[in-house]
Structure 1
Amino acid sequence: MPEGPEIFLASRLINTVSLKRLYGGRVVKSEVSTKNPDVEWEEEVYRVRAQARGKELMVTLCNGEVEKKGEKTLNIIFRFGMSGSFKFTPVQEIPKHAHLRFYTINEDIPMVLSFVDYRRFGRWEVGGTWGRDRGPDPMWEYPNFRENILAGLKSADFNKPICEAMLNQKYFNGIGNYLRAEILYRCGIRPFDEAREVLSELKPFSKWYEMQSKIKVHKMCEVKPDVLDLCHILPKEVINLGGGGKGYNVDLDADEDEYKEFRSWLQCYYQDGMKNMVDHNRRTMWFSGEPGRLIPKDACSRSMVKRKKSQTRKQNKDIAEDQILEFDQNGKESKQIKLLKEETKVNKSRNKKQSKKDAKDELDTKCSATEGLQNKKNKTKYHQPKATSAKNKSKTGVRVTAKIASRTSVTSVTQRAPTRRSSRIKSQ
């Protein structure tokens, strides 16, 4: 899920591409986005700007080519969900999952700014404002952020483990799964210790934050930052990383190279040698050492998922580039391409044989199961006689003996008495 740094990077992208561009026409919503409202805005010329605050993004549409007092504006609040992002592409290359589109005007190549969300968990609110249940942004409103948390320590929200309290956007706006893991790990705090116990030791003011304004940039601050200071420091480190700084690959078309610097920046989240545990909200918490005393009763961990899709895409891309180079140089197919085609044919034949074998095995399994079921139906069931108590043994014994005697005494058909005919038959 995109966190505070990713939301800020989205706002920076929108402001950068829209700085000297104008938009116009209707704001188009995709047909499949039924849970989100239509944007009633159809101006001939308008401008676009964006602002981030925690996990929310505000996109403002302003009528006209230049800024004027009292101009017509419209705010749209975006919440990205699991996989939301913004892309700026040519109109002919609109992403597949673009659910809201803003078209540029007066350009040689028509462009479009799109809100892309392939999981469709993202939401937008037309004419909205910042969420009332969300606290100050730790990156840009740090003093208010710190004050808001320490003033609300008596709330029941802080009875939870610190790792779960850090996902509450009422206090930790913009902090998500990877940031909480990195913050607690670098502070040496056990993730499942009570939040109130951890935060009650902090002072209302931050010595580290005060020292930053007094010392020069090239000098190192001797005061170590606390857990709330790191909520301010680490998100800023992420947005200043190269390669976009994204936390994880939520973009299906993105290359793995884009996240190399971020993965090297991570010390705890999804790293080898670290432990993980599913918290009470069913979110995976990564940590090192002891978890703490407030662990869930049914505590369990999750295995790491290896991303193979992006690696395969990269290999295919490299192969395609090699093929193009070979064709350009030689004017015909190279030995590598011929070998690649032969290998593809061999793999196809192997797959066909394997599929036939699997189908045959499946048919044999079904037949054997049917035969077993028929044999089971044909078997005669044996029922043990019911046990009798000692009290009724004498009575039942007589009855059983009489029944056995009646079954064993066989009377032949010739010895049976003749059947008596009715009087009506005699009269005839």
Structure 2
Amino acid sequence: MPEGPELHFASLFVNRVCSGVVFSGAVEKSEVSKRPHVPFACDAYSISAVSRGKEVRLTLTPIKSETKSKVKEEENQTPMDVVFRFGMSGSFRFTAVDELPKHAHVRFYTKEDPQRVLSFVDTRRFGSWQHNATWQKDRGPCVMSEYESFRQNVLSNLSDKAFNRPICEALLNQKYFNGIGNYLRAEILYRMKIPPFVKARTVLEGLAAKNEDTKEVKVATANTNDFDSDGKRKVETKGLDILSLCHIVPLEVISLGEKGYEPEKGNYTELEAWFQCYGVNGMNSINDHNGRNIWFQGSPGPMAPKGSNASRTKRKIQKVENDYTDTKKAAKKEHTGSVSKGTHVQEASGTVKNQKGQRGTRRQKTRLDTQTHENKKPKTSKKHISAGPHTSRAKNTRRQMEPEGNITAKRIRRSQRLSSTAAF
């Protein structure tokens, strides 16, 4: 999910690609989207963007014509603000019209030939937008750009029931932590060595409402060149508290530059290399009470969901690289080629596999065991009373294969039993 730094990058992207570009016509909405239409149309207008926490605001500003021609009706359009929330997969793209992305739900067309289009792309459709809107009222100050207000907003409302919840869940409450998301909360708690399932109020009580210089923190974070042996950026947490890291850690992501998050190319290598906890091998993960996965190290804390077990985490990208090496492919091919068609291989565990490596059914396994057992037994069987023409061919075959002496002895014993029965 895009978090505060990603929406900041989105605003920078819009300002860069739209600088000096003139847009024209009506704003279009995709037919599949159920979100409201943006009622804006103008012969010439510009687009600028600004972010705040997990929101991006586009400002559509009409450009006045220098000629004294008749003013069209749409040129009376006043400036309009459109506020976007990215949901799980939102982003902005700027492409040629014939390269319009599949899930482009809001489109702004340029006034040029060939035309280009700025579009809001949302594959999963959890994103939203509102025209003639301001920042959402129930969202608190931005953890990155409004640090002092953010800190004061948290510490002056610790009596709120939101802080009765575990700290990992409180950090996702945008009323107090606007801009913090899933990967940021994991990194913040890991650096502070705070278990994720400790009551939020317990963690935050006693913190002083410090008036820190935000600009100094930004410069110090952006110019840090101190890395550990694993290539991870070191951060001195001495003298810092969890609210300070809610400001510093997102700025670290911003200091990576837009290479840390490139939705156009799907390249997240810079961001993944920066992670110290989120999705890193050896870290534990567990679902919180809202079903969101939280990564941590050590004990989860006393408020962890009952019946949940922490599991070791492995990055998906490493699984892809490690599971399909040429060595394993060659070994698998050699093993498969050694089994002839139509035969079965029995493993040490007692399971049965066919040529394709699929496990056989219980009936197939039983049949195989029975055949093996019969091959080891002597070829003897009891003589049964004939059942007429319906007697199976298998029984007749076994009788023919028995030694003559065994058949004679059986007939004698049978006649003795019949005679003793007749005496009664």
Q: Under a length normalisation based on structure 1, what TM-score does the superposition of the two structures give?
A: 0.65
> Secondary structure at 1:276's aligned position in 2?
strand
The residue number in structure 1 matching 2:250 is 235
1:296-311, aligned counterparts within 5 Å? Answer: 296-301=305-310, 307=316
Task: Measure the CA separation in 2 of the matches of 1:64 and 1:7.
Answer: 27
Of 251, 254, 265, the residue aligned with 1:254 is 265
Instruction: Specify every segment of 5 or more residues in structure 2 that has no aligned partner in the other structure, as ranges.
Output: 67-75, 227-235, 322-355, 368-424
1:276-287, aligned counterparts within 5 Å? Answer: 276-287=285-296
Query: Per the alignment, do residues 216 and 130 of structure 1 end up closer, same or farther by CA in structure 2, a change over 3 Å counting?
Result: closer
1:4-19, aligned counterparts within 5 Å? Answer: 4-19=4-19
Comparing 223-232 and 134-143, the one that deviates more: 223-232
Task: Measure the CA separation in 2 of the matches of 1:216 and 1:290.
Answer: 29
Conserved 8 A contact 2:89-2:127: yes
Structure 1 residue 304 displacement after superposition: 5.1
Structure 1 residue 128 displacement after superposition: 1.4
> Secondary structure at 1:181's aligned position in 2?
helix
The number of equivalent residue pairs is 312
Structure 1 residue 293 displacement after superposition: 1.1
Conserved 8 A contact 1:135-1:148: yes
The residue number in structure 2 matching 1:395 is none
Q: Under a length normalisation based on structure 2, what TM-score does the superposition of the two structures give?
A: 0.66
Conserved 8 A contact 1:161-1:194: yes
Conserved 8 A contact 1:148-1:171: yes
Question: 1:355-408: CA deviations, max 9, x gaps?
Answer: xx99xx99x99xx9xxxxxxxxxxxxxxxxxxxxxxxxxxxxxxxxxxxxxxxx
Structure 1 residue 213 displacement after superposition: 9.7
Matching residue's letter, 2:129 = W
Query: Per the alignment, do residues 211 and 72 of structure 1 end up closer, same or farther by CA in structure 2, a change over 3 Å counting?
Result: closer
Of 95, 113, 128, the residue aligned with 2:118 is 113
The residue number in structure 1 matching 2:299 is 290
Matching residue's letter, 1:83 = S
Query: Per the alignment, do residues 216 and 128 of structure 1 end up closer, same or farther by CA in structure 2, a change over 3 Å counting?
Result: closer
Task: Measure the CA separation in 2 of the matches of 1:302 and 1:94.
Answer: 41
Question: 1:145-172: CA deviations, max 9, x gaps?
Answer: 0000000001111011110000000000
> Secondary structure at 1:36's aligned position in 2?
coil
1:53-64, aligned counterparts within 5 Å? Answer: 53-64=52-63
Task: Measure the CA separation in 2 of the matches of 1:286 and 1:176.
Answer: 12
Query: Per the alignment, do residues 112 and 304 of structure 1 end up closer, same or farther by CA in structure 2, a change over 3 Å counting?
Result: farther
> Secondary structure at 1:147's aligned position in 2?
helix
Of 115, 139, 142, the residue aligned with 1:137 is 142
Matching residue's letter, 2:188 = I
Instruction: Specify every segment of 5 or more residues in structure 1 that has no aligned partner in the other structure, as ranges.
Output: 313-356, 369-428
> Secondary structure at 1:146's aligned position in 2?
helix
1:205-216, aligned counterparts within 5 Å? Answer: 205=210, 212=217
Q: Percent identity?
A: 47
Structure 1 residue 237 displacement after superposition: 1.2
> Secondary structure at 2:268's aligned position in 1?
helix
Of 127, 131, 152, the residue aligned with 1:126 is 131
The residue number in structure 1 matching 2:90 is 84
Task: Measure the CA separation in 2 of the matches of 1:222 and 1:267.
Answer: 14
Conserved 8 A contact 2:82-2:132: yes
